[in-house]
Amino acid sequence: MSITVDSELCSGCGACVASCPYGGIEVIDDKACITEDCNLCGACVEACTMDAIIWTKEEVGIEKVDLSQYKGVWVIAEHYKGNIHKVAYQLLGKGRELADTLHVSLTLVILGDAFDDQLEELSMYGADEIIYVKSKILKNYYSDLYTKTLTELITENKPEIVLIGATATGRDFAPRVAKRLNAGLTADCTGLEIDPKTNNLFQTRPTFGGNIMATIRTPNSRPQMATVRPGTFKKPEAKKRKVNIRQIDYDYSEKDSVTKIVKVINREKSKVNLEDAEIIVAGGRGVGKKENFKIIEELAEAIGAEIGGSRVTVELNWIPQDQQVGQTGKTVTPKLYIACGISGAIQHLVGMENSDIIVAINKDPSAPIFNVAHYGIVGDLHKVIPALIENIKKVKSAED
């Protein structure tokens, strides 16, 4: 790809300079000149009213893909110690929506061993088909064997969309598979929709430090691959449905992998389970100081909630890191999220905005958290929360 300026057509107006976020174009002697900071994004091409900027997009070495050959939505399930990761169920919910919009089938792919007894349960979450790649060695995760097997399966079956959990393992094999397939991959998506005009997958994710939500499409390659963080979408209701199960036996042995698993060490379990919590009370800088978090704990105790917080509260050492909600913390979808003294920065919102009901307590009526809140209480949390607790206790004692 290259960008050049036709100096005959260039009027030197500078619209291109203003449009470039990288300082990749300058006006010298009344003519636009491309600098070494240009990253070929093409913003200047669109800004130029004189058609003086020429964007040559010859795609050297990239094969033209016959998009019509690709059909269907796939979800890749991961597992640990024989348990399917919950993100697989959440992706099945979103995958079903996408498949219905495209009028195609939804397939769940599992690479593992001893899942025979779980297939019936798994078939209740929206898939039309389950591909079960069975191999003793795949009881554990092998980066290279996942990459090889999935690349082979995708090449053979040609799904148009492949969804993967943005977990430690998903983040490992997804880009490897995408590279081998020459496919586009968008990591850590917070939104997935079908473009009604082109049927391409719109993949939304935070970018530029979370300050902008970018919607990305991969119109020229297939499959369209996306990873999604656990908790971004909801697990669908279980419903009995007829599912076609395809078992493929792979005769892998340890010799087939460059990795040898010596020991599987259990991760230390986090004391809080924000991702599965039904109610979360979260505190922000507005709480004031570490000692004041007691008030958040009291409210959480009164309603049986887990405690979360903004990144600021983690940085200030008021709460542990595993309680941080947001882009660089946990993505949560509780039934009730009470945000106390949290401004509602985009990096926080992406981690909690899919909660069923959001209540915000903030003394600033223009705090952005109120844009996503279903109920807002404008006031000092040190007055509002004790009043809430008192009322909750009254209601509870009246019920007893």
Ligand X SMILES: Cc1cc2nc3c(=O)[nH]c(=O)nc-3n(C[C@H](O)[C@H](O)[C@H](O)COP(=O)(O)OP(=O)(O)OC[C@H]3O[C@@H](n4cnc5c(N)ncnc54)[C@H](O)[C@@H]3O)c2cc1C
CB 208, min distance to ligand X, A: 9
Q: How far apart are CA 370 and CA 376, in angstroms?
A: 6
The amino acid that residue 337 corresponds to is: Y
Q: Choose, by CB under 6 A, the member of 108, 150, 345, 358 that binds ligand X.
A: 345
Residue at shortest CB range from ligand X: 326
Size of the site for ligand X (CB under 6 A): 30
**In contact, 27 and 54? CB cutoff 8 Å:** no
Is residue 382 part of the contact set for ligand X (CB under 6 A)?
yes
Binding span for ligand X by CB under 6 A among 45-53, 118-126, 265-273, 308-316? 308-316
Is residue 347 part of the contact set for ligand X (CB under 6 A)?
yes
Helices 381-399 and 293-303: crossing angle in degrees, nearest 10, is 20
Which of the residues 279 through 298 are near ligand X (CB under 6 A)?
A: 284-286
Is residue 205 part of the contact set for ligand X (CB under 6 A)?
no
Strand locations in 35-128 (E): 53-56, 73-77, 79-80, 83-84, 106-112
CB 344, min distance to ligand X, A: 7
71 versus 363: smaller Cβ distance to ligand X: 363
Sequence-distant (6+) residues with CB within 8 A of 185 are 174, 175, 178, 225, 226, 227
Is residue 329 part of the contact set for ligand X (CB under 6 A)?
yes
Is residue 92 part of the contact set for ligand X (CB under 6 A)?
no
Is residue 320 part of the contact set for ligand X (CB under 6 A)?
no
170 versus 210: smaller Cβ distance to ligand X: 210
175 versus 288: smaller Cβ distance to ligand X: 288
Q: Are strands 106-112 and 184-189 parallel, antiparallel or unpaired?
A: unpaired
Q: Choose, by CB under 6 A, the member of 51, 121, 356, 380 that binds ligand X.
A: 380
Is residue 209 part of the contact set for ligand X (CB under 6 A)?
yes
Q: Choose, by CB under 6 A, the member of 200, 224, 324, 355 that binds ligand X.
A: 324
**In contact, 132 and 115? CB cutoff 8 Å:** yes
**In contact, 155 and 270? CB cutoff 8 Å:** no
192 versus 312: smaller Cβ distance to ligand X: 312
HSE-CB of 234 using CA atoms within 13 angstroms: 13
Identify the residue whose tokens are 């405690």: 307
Binding span for ligand X by CB under 6 A among 161-169, 232-240, 273-281, 320-328? 320-328
Q: In the chain, how many H helices and how many E strands?
A: 11, 21
Please write down the HEC assignment for all residues of 164-181.
EECCHHHHHHHHHHHHHH
160 versus 353: smaller Cβ distance to ligand X: 353
Give the CA distances from residue 32 to residues 2, 7, 41, 274, in Å, rounded to whole numbers and listed in that order.
15, 8, 16, 53
Residue 124, judged by CB atoms within 10 A of its CB (0-12, 13-18, 19+), counts as middle
153 versus 319: smaller Cβ distance to ligand X: 319
Q: Choose, by CB under 6 A, the member of 280, 312, 332, 372 that binds ligand X.
A: 312
Is residue 230 part of the contact set for ligand X (CB under 6 A)?
no
Which of the residues 129 through 188 are near ligand X (CB under 6 A)?
A: none
Interface residues toward ligand X, by CB under 6 A: 209-210, 284-286, 310-313, 324-329, 341-343, 345, 347-348, 351, 361-364, 367, 380-382
